[in-house]
A and B are shown apart, each in its own frame.
Chain A
Amino acid sequence: MNCAQIKEQLVDFLYDELPASLRAAFAEHLRGCPGCSAEVATYQRTLGQARAALAGPLLQEPPARARLAVLAAARTAARSARKAEGPGFFARFWRTPWLLPAFGAVSVATVVFLVRVLKNPEVIPGRWRQSVEEIAPATPQPIAQPPTAQPAAETAAAAKGGDKEVEVAGIGRVAKASGHKGKATGGMMASKAEAPTSESARKRKDLGFDPLSGSLRGNATAGGSAPSRFAEPPPPRAAAKASREIDDLMGSFDTERKATPPAPTETKQPTAKKSSAGREKDTLSLDEFAGAPEPAAQAARPSAPSYAPAGAAAAPAPQPATRPAKMRQAEVAAEAATDSASEPSFDGKAKEKADKGGSKDAPSLDEGIRKADRLFAAADWTAAAAAYRDLLRRFGNHKDAPKWRDRMNQSLVAEEESRKLQTPKATKAAKVKTTDDVLKGEK
């Protein structure tokens, strides 16, 4: 290390910041160089004297005024910072100017909503509605409409969905299914019903679904069984199909009766059996819709069980396949005469009324329908036929006229069959006698 390097490293040497190697070289040079050694010594003395002066006589205490002013400013700043942060969240929330109006509006809206819901739970869909109904079960419900007013398809669909409650319509409560959310519409249900599965058919049967009338029977229908429910049913598909079958059967029967001589009983038997089966179903549903208790209904129509007994086929004597028209006319006349004598249970007054038809005290349409249905359900075939005939005469253009006609025909057939079964011998005798008389007269 030379003298120039000693000057360059002087500050580091004075402040003891030289690395150890350089410090050793620096000291070695000072030992061999009196000039550098003296110069370094003067620097060391100057630095010592300056330090002594700065730390001793020149050292002064800071003025107290500055300190006080600074601390006051610091306190003010801290206070200002706290004010700038403002009050807490809740304090600011409660000072919000729009809080009170908003709270009032929400309260009013809530009250209005609750009042509306309690008055009419229908406004709430799905599970909410269910809970509200539990809260307010005493909500007055309108009287249930006739079950037949609800399309059978909807009922079937509701049954298919496993519904626990089926409330028939008019009040908008179609079905409340555990799996549904109240979204099912009549259209959807109808589409389901149009393609029924075996499962749905079973459930329909459980619910008392009558395919002939397209309606429910039994406890599955709400609101009991008022006689008026049977009035004015829309012709459902199943019922229409059954009606068409009966039409065909009866049409063929009538045609056979009119165009050809009376067929042998054996030839008519399948037809009678078939039609009686359909009528059996129809009768059951009618009984229950008419509100008549099942046993009473069974007792009131003693001929119904014997309508098509197994032995009935063998009972009537076989008749010739072809007979003269006059013979048939004579038979009909004899049957008519027998009717008047062999129907002690016939309600004469009702028949009179039914026969009178358009008399002044004739029943109204509803009463007439109700009466006819009741008589039909009670298996009072003669009176029922007269009642339906009266309805057809008075209201021939009614939409249910085909049905009335069917039932009239059914009543006539049933009447004839029952008469044959009840008094087969008398009828036979009458027929023989009549035939003999005719033959005698011809001779």
Chain B
Amino acid sequence: MARYQKGDVDAFAELVSRHEKRLWNFVRRFVADSATAEDLLQEVFLRVVRSAAEWHPSAKFSTWLLTIARNLCTDQARRGALRKADSLDQTPGARGDDSGPHRIDKVASPDGNAERAAMDREIALRVDQAVEELPVEQREVFLMREMMDLSFAEIATATGASEPTVKSRMRYALERLRSALVELHDQNGPAAVEVTP
């Protein structure tokens, strides 16, 4: 970022390459609409470009980037413009740039096991739907932790909430996910709890 502040456009391209995938998935999971997510992704980086002179080297770029993205997504959600997320069985081409019969169909089975692939597909559908149905505060905490790999302290900084609050929101988000996947758990049996004393 410091190089881009001096006019090095290649440095900014490197920044985009490093963070765009995680940021895209965060925004995409947050707003659930690919077109809106694309606009938001573009707006996040444009804000970075416009505010490049304000960035200070002491700040962590990923946190700064996520804060911008989170603010944009939160504003979008609060305006009520949060459209209903595309369902996994939505026909492709109806919105966004998604292609293929179904997004979940793009998931390839690594071992070629059809039954396992079907189960993974079902789990992905449930997770995707459960995340979309999470309240905004819980969703942003869950996505920041799982998609952006931020610590609870960093999430607390980005959201402006306290760290216990962030952890509490995370626990509620996990509880909802568990409720959404409990049937699958029953089908596949409970996972063994690995506890190391």
A residues contacting B by CB (< 8 A) are 7, 10-12, 14-15, 17, 24, 26-28, 30-31, 37-38, 40-54, 56-63, 65-67, 69-71, 73-75, 77-78, 81-82
Flag whether B193 is at the interface (Cβ < 8 A): yes
Q: With A11-B170, A41-B193 in contact, do A82 and B24 touch (Cβ < 8 Å)?
A: no
Interface string of B1-35 (1 = CB under 8 A from A): 00010011100110010001101110011000010
Q: With A58-B25, A62-B41 in contact, do A71 and B16 touch (Cβ < 8 Å)?
A: yes
Q: Which residue of A lies closest to B191 (CB)?
A: A45
**Stretch binding the partner chain, chosen from B44-52, B54-62, B65-73, B76-84:** B44-52
Q: Which residues of B contact A7 (CB under 8 A)?
A: 171
Q: Shortest CB–CB separation between residue A119 and chain B, in angstroms?
A: 58
Q: Which residues of A contact B156 (CB under 8 A)?
A: none
Flag whether B114 is at the interface (Cβ < 8 A): no
Q: Which residues of A contact B13 (CB under 8 A)?
A: 71, 74
Measured CA separation A70–B23 after assembly (Å) = 14
Interface of chain B, main secondary structure: helix
Say yes or no: A58 contacts B97, CB within 8 Å.
no
Q: Shortest CB–CB separation between residue A129 and chain B, in angstroms?
A: 56
Say yes or no: B147 contacts A54, CB within 8 Å.
yes
Say yes or no: B184 contacts A49, CB within 8 Å.
yes
Q: Which residues of B contact A70 (CB under 8 A)?
A: 16, 42, 45-46, 49
Measured CA separation A80–B143 after assembly (Å) = 36
Interface residue count on the B side (C-beta < 8 Å): 59
Interface string of B161-189 (1 = CB under 8 A from A): 00000011011001001100110110000
Q: With A54-B146, A82-B7 in contact, do A63 and B24 touch (Cβ < 8 Å)?
A: yes
Flag whether B196 is at the interface (Cβ < 8 A): yes
Q: Shortest CB–CB separation between residue A348 and chain B, in angstroms?
A: 111
The contact of B7 among A41, A58, A66, A81, by CB within 8 Å, is: A81
Q: Shortest CB–CB separation between residue A120 and chain B, in angstroms?
A: 59
Interface string of B101-128 (1 = CB under 8 A from A): 0011011000000000000110110011
